[in-house]
């Protein structure tokens, strides 16, 4: 997408020209304490006892373990559900062998409502994680069968549920100060209390899994508690995750939150979307490196298949988008349930506007997924539309349903009441291409090592760029690489000599097509905005190649 305006971010704090790049970036973002922000410590953690009902829940689990009662964990069908559920299962397995798990598949739906019939009859305690805060009737039926129910969740509470012990920072009366945590964090807090009951420290083993749940569920990384969990969790211990990263050729000693967001979480979610959640559950609880490697390969293969299916849906559904709509509603009855959100998210990021991908239900309704751009609270907006039966999930990511006969009314309401897209691209600082070097880029990467919702990786404007050529990469030819040299050097060399020069910077555009970036621009001076990356690749015979890259968002030809 081409942007109408490029705007440099206004610094929130003053800084000096002689300050290092880290202090300059901190000042621009309004961060007063650079060390606290980039290397947080355990003082950022809040006491688990601030979570309402956590002592009661931990005591119920403790009693069940001591009395050798049968404990069943319900694992939800997404990144946060899998990480929080496997975390709890692995932790309880250290105390008892009488613990089991159940789950649905993505195509069947979320919450205990769709998995109730899978609960073993001899269950004594059911722990539901990352869902079912509002599943009042299901919890009532389960407790009527003499099964105690604990719900560990982080979603909004709409209904009072007296049929469970609820541990959820969103519930009324909960004093936990960080409301922006995922279910993995809440489950981990329960494990911290269990450590005190059993005089153990097992919860210390799960920072990595908690960080994956937190980051994968797109929780705020401006919260210092969340930053510490991710900072600590980037030192991966989980055998399954280490195998996954190794198979993807990731450097385990140089991980960032982006590796979670763009490598680990997509693989976990792919298994869920392909209705093979059991494979990724096994991966996360596996302790044997050889078995973990086999499972990791399976999960990666699923993610590759997921990419192909997603690309097919995107291509097929693109003609259904009306550019005039402020929120495009796409209706398609063939798209798999696990892909609606993915496709909506891809269009949302590409077109920078809200998207719904829906299909027909048996009861004359449309239902599916919504995605909102730039953290807009689309859930509340949709719930304000009289014709919408429900919008649930997170503010910018969730599900929606309304009657088929109301489609035109809903679309009209969206077009009349949603604000227009702000077609501006903000960047942090400007550099001449000749200023870029390994040291500078690595310092920038270090500053943005823990980035995500609330604190995105900074974009930079790079000038004095002369594109040398265009390479189209990948089996699907969906990545464009443009090696570049400084325009200022071109005055002293002819074209053949310039093509032989080692590029000063490579522009990289992912998930695009081979027509991106016109050949006519080669040799002309451009400016570009994107995120900086220093790539180090170990090739044949261990030879390491290094290159500076800009993950491209937009570019302009200089007059």
The domain segmentation of the chain, as residue ranges, is 5-37+424-557, 43-216, 234-314, 321-417
Domain covering 43-216, topology: inorganic pyrophosphatase (n-terminal core) (3.90.1640)
Looking at the predicted structure, is the pLDDT value of residue 336 above 60?
A: yes
Question: Could you tell me which CATH class the domain 321-417 is placed in?
Answer: alpha beta
The residues near 317 (Cβ < 8 Å, ≥ 6 apart) are 330, 332, 335, 343, 347, 357
Nearest to 361 by CA among 395, 407, 324, 397: 407
Phi and psi torsions of 447, nearest 5°:
-65, -40
pLDDT digits (tens, 9 = 90+) for 228-287: 999 999 999 999 999 999 999 998 998 999 999 999 999 999 999 999 999 999 999 999
- At 226 the pLDDT is 98
Q: How confident is the model at residue 217 (pLDDT cuts 50, 70, 90)?
A: very high
Number of H helices, E strands in the chain: 18, 19
Same fold, 5-37+424-557 and 321-417: no
Helix (H) or strand (E) run with residue 545 in it: strand 544-557
Helix (H) or strand (E) run with residue 371 in it: strand 365-371
Q: What is the mean pLDDT of residues 380-408?
A: 92
3-state secondary structure of 237: coil
Residue 279: CA count within 13 A, CB half-sphere = 22
Looking at the predicted structure, is the pLDDT value of residue 420 above 70?
A: no
Q: What is the mean pLDDT of residues 396-408?
A: 93
Mean pLDDT over the full length of the chain: 93
The residues near 297 (Cβ < 8 Å, ≥ 6 apart) are 247
Domain covering 5-37+424-557, topology: OB fold (Dihydrolipoamide Acetyltransferase, E2P) (2.40.50)
Q: How confident is the model at residue 539 (pLDDT cuts 50, 70, 90)?
A: low
pLDDT above 70 as % of the chain: 97
End-to-end CA distance of the chain: 20
User: At CB < 8 A and 24+ separation, what contacts does 108-113 make?
Assistant: 108/77, 109/337, 110/76, 110/77, 110/78, 111/76, 111/135, 111/138, 112/74, 112/138, 112/139, 112/142, 113/138
pLDDT digits (tens, 9 = 90+) for 351-393: 888 999 999 988 899 999 999 987 788 999 999 999 999 898 8
- Partners of 549 in the β-ladder: 506, 533
Report yes or no on whether pTM surpasses 0.85: yes
119 vs 425, higher pLDDT: 119
Per-residue HEC secondary structure of 303-348 comes to: HHHHHHHHHHHHHHHHHHCCCCCCEEEEECCCCCHHHHHHHHHHHH
Residues 91 and 198 sit within 8 Å (Cβ to Cβ): no
411 vs 496, higher pLDDT: 411
Nearest to 206 by CA among 89, 75, 87, 43: 87
Rounded Cα–Cα distance for residues 44 and 190 (Å): 18
């Amino acid at each position: 997408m081409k942007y109408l305006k490029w705007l440099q971010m206004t610094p929130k704090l003053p800084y000096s020209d002689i300050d290092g790049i880290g202090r300059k970036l901190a000042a621009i973002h309004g961060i007063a304490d650079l060390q606290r922000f980039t290397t947080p410590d355990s003082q950022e953690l809040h006491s688990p006892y601030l979570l309402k009902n956590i002592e009661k829940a931990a005591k119920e689990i403790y009693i069940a373990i001591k009395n050798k009662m049968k404990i069943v964990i319900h694992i939800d069908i997404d990144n946060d559900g899998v990480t929080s559920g496997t975390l709890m299962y692995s932790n309880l397995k250290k105390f008892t062998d009488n613990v089991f798990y159940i789950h649905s598949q993505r195509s069947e739906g979320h919450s205990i409502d769709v998995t109730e019939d899978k609960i073993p009859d001899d269950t004594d305690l059911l722990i539901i994680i990352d869902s079912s805060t509002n599943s009042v009737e299901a919890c009532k039926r389960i407790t009527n069968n003499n099964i105690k129910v604990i719900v560990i969740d982080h979603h909004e509470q709409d209904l009072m549920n007296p049929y469970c012990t609820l541990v959820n920072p969103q519930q009324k009366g909960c004093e936990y100060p960080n409301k922006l945590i995922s279910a993995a964090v809440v489950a981990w807090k329960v494990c911290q209390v269990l450590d005190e009951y059993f005089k153990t420290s097992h919860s210390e083993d799960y920072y990595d899994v908690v960080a994956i749940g937190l980051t994968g569920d797109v929780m705020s990384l401006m919260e210092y508690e969340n930053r510490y969990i991710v900072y600590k969790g980037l030192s991966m211990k989980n055998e399954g995750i280490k195998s996954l990263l190794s198979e993807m050729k990731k450097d385990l000693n140089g991980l960032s939150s982006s590796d979670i967001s763009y490598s680990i979480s997509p693989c976990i979610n792919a298994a869920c979307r392909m209705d093979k959640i059991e494979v990724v559950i096994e991966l996360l609880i596996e302790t044997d490196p050889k078995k973990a490697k086999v499972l990791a390969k399976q999960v990666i293969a699923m993610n590759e298949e997921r990419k192909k299916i997603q690309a097919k849906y995107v291509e097929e559904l693109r003609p259904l988008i009306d550019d005039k709509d402020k929120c495009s509603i796409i209706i398609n009855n063939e798209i798999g349930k696990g892909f609606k959100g993915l496709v909506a998210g891809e269009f949302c990021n590409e077109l920078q506007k809200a998207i719904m991908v829906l299909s027909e239900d048996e009861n004359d309704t449309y239902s599916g997924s919504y995605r909102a751009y730039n953290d807009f609270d689309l859930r509340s907006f949709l719930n304000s539309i009289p014709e919408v039966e429900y919008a649930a999930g997170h503010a910018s990511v969730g599900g929606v349903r309304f009657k088929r006969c109301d489609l035109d009314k809903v679309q009209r309401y969206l077009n009349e009441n949603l604000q227009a897209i702000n077609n501006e691209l903000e960047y942090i600082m400007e550099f001449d291409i000749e200023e870029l070097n390994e040291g500078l880029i690595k310092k920038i990467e270090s500053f943005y090592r823990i980035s995500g919702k609330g604190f995105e990786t900074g974009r930079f404007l790079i000038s004095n760029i002369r594109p040398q050529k265009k390479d189209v990469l990948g089996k699907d030819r969906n990545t464009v690489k443009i090696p570049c040299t400084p325009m200022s050097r071109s005055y002293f060399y002819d074209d053949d000599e310039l093509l032989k020069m080692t590029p000063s910077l490579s522009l990289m555009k992912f998930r695009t097509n081979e027509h991106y970036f016109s050949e006519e621009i080669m040799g002309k001076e451009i400016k570009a905005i994107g995120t900086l990356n220093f790539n180090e690749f170990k090739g044949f015979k261990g030879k390491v190649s290094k290159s500076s890259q800009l993950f491209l968002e937009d570019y302009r030809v200089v007059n």
